[in-house]
Amino acid sequence: MKRQRGHKARLYLTPDQVATVDDQGPSARARWNLLHELWQMTPKCQRSLSRMDEVIRQPRKDIPWLKAVPAQAAQQVLKTYHRAWVNCWEGRAEEPAFKKRTARRAVDIPQGRDLRITRLSRHWGQCWVPMVGLVRFRWAKDLPYGKRADKNNRVTGARLVKEVNGWHIVFRVQTEADEPKPHEGPVVGIDRGIAKPLALSDGTFREHGSWLTPGEAKRLKRLEQQRERQRAHHKPGERTSNRLRHTYDQIAQLRARATRRAVDWQHKTTTEISDIFGVIGVEDLAIVNMVKSARGTVEAPGKNVRQKAGLNRSISGEAWGRTVTFLQYKLADRGGHLVKVPAPNTSRRCSACGFITPGSRESQSRFVTKPHAA
C-alpha cells in the first residue's frame, strides 16, 4: 500500500535567503486574498479554475512584488483555494476567508523533482528552493532521494512554513509499505480530559506535568503583564513599536516551546498506546463547539464567562484533536483500528446493560454503578 507522510525539518538560511523567503510569504498571502475577493465578485455560474487563473495572471504582471512567489507556487495557491471550497461543500471545513497579516506564512513547492535533495553528512541535508537557491536543512529522517527514489518511494513536493524559531520545510513523502497484519492487542477505551489527560478503560492513566518550567511560567506571566502595559500606550492605528514587537516575539517563543513539548509527549504516548492495543475507542467530540466563548450577546449576556474562558484554554492546551489524529494513523500502520463513539451519554450509560442513569459519574476517572430497575 502507498503511504503519505509529512516530514518537517528546520532550514538554515543565509541572511539574503531569509530576506527572499520573507518576501514570498506575504506575496502568497496577498494572492490568496485577491483570489478570495475575485471569487466573491464573480457570479456563481462563471466560477471556474481556468477563468480564475486567467484573471489572476494579470496582477502578477502589473504588480512587481507579486512576482516574489515562483510561478508554480502561485499556481498552487489557486489549487489550494479551490480545494478549500471543495472541502467546504463536502462538509469537512468552513468557508475560506481572507488571511490576516498575522496568518502563518507558507509557500508551496509543488514538484518534488525541483527539490534536488542530497545528503551532505550524517546530520545535514541540502535541497533546492526556487528563487532562493541551495539551502541546508537538518537531516533527522531518511528521505528517498537520488537513486533511492522511484515511482513508489519519492518526495512528491514540499512546503516552506514560517515558525517562531525560523523557516522550516515540510516534505511530502510517498512510500510503499506492506499491508500490516491485524493487530492482536486488546480493546481499550480512552477518555480525554484535563485533570487526567488520558484515562484508559483498563484503569491506567497517561499524565504529564506543566509544559513550562516554573521559571519559564514566571517569565511568561511577566512578559504578558509587560505587553499589557505597552499596549496601554499604543493608540489604535499607530505603528507597533519595536519594544512591543520584541515582547510579542518573546511570548511567542515561550508558547512555541510549550507546544513542541506537548507534541513530543503526544507522539511518545500515542506510539506506546498503539503498540499495546489493537482497537481503541474514543468519544467523537465536537471540540470546536466545546471551546466557544460563553460571553453571549448584549441582549443575552453569558454567565461564568471567565471560568469558561479558563476551561477553554485548558482544553485547547491539551489538543485533544491532535491526539486522535496521531492515534488514527499510528494504529493504521500497525493493523489496528480507531473507533469514534458518539459522545452523548457515554459517561452515564451502564457498560453492562446499556441503561442510562444520571449521576453515575463522580469524576473524569471514577465511575460508580448505581442500582436501577431491570
- pLDDT per residue of the chain (374 residues) written in tens, 0 to 9: 788 889 999 999 999 999 999 999 999 999 999 889 988 888 888 888 888 888 888 877 888 888 888 888 888 998 999 999 999 999 888 899 999 888 889 999 998 888 999 999 999 999 999 999 999 999 988 899 888 888 889 999 999 999 988 999 999 999 888 888 888 889 998 888 888 899 898 888 999 999 999 999 999 999 999 999 998 888 888 888 899 999 999 999 999 999 999 999 999 999 999 999 999 999 888 878 777 777 776 667 777 777 778 888 888 888 888 999 999 999 998 999 999 888 776 766 666 666 676 665 555 445 555 554 44
Instruction: Provide CB contacts within 8 A for 146, sequence distance 6+.
Output: 117, 118
Q: Are residues 320 and 192 in contact, defined by beta-carbon separation less than 8 angstroms?
A: yes
Which set of grid coordinates corresponds to residue 349?
Answer: 450509560
The number of C-alpha atoms within 13 Å of 74 and in the hemisphere containing its C-beta is 22
Say what the pTM is: 0.81
Which set of grid coordinates corresponds to residue 306?
Answer: 471567565
CA-to-CA distance for 208 and 43, rounded, in angstroms?
53
Instruction: Provide CB contacts within 8 A for 236, sequence distance 6+.
Output: none
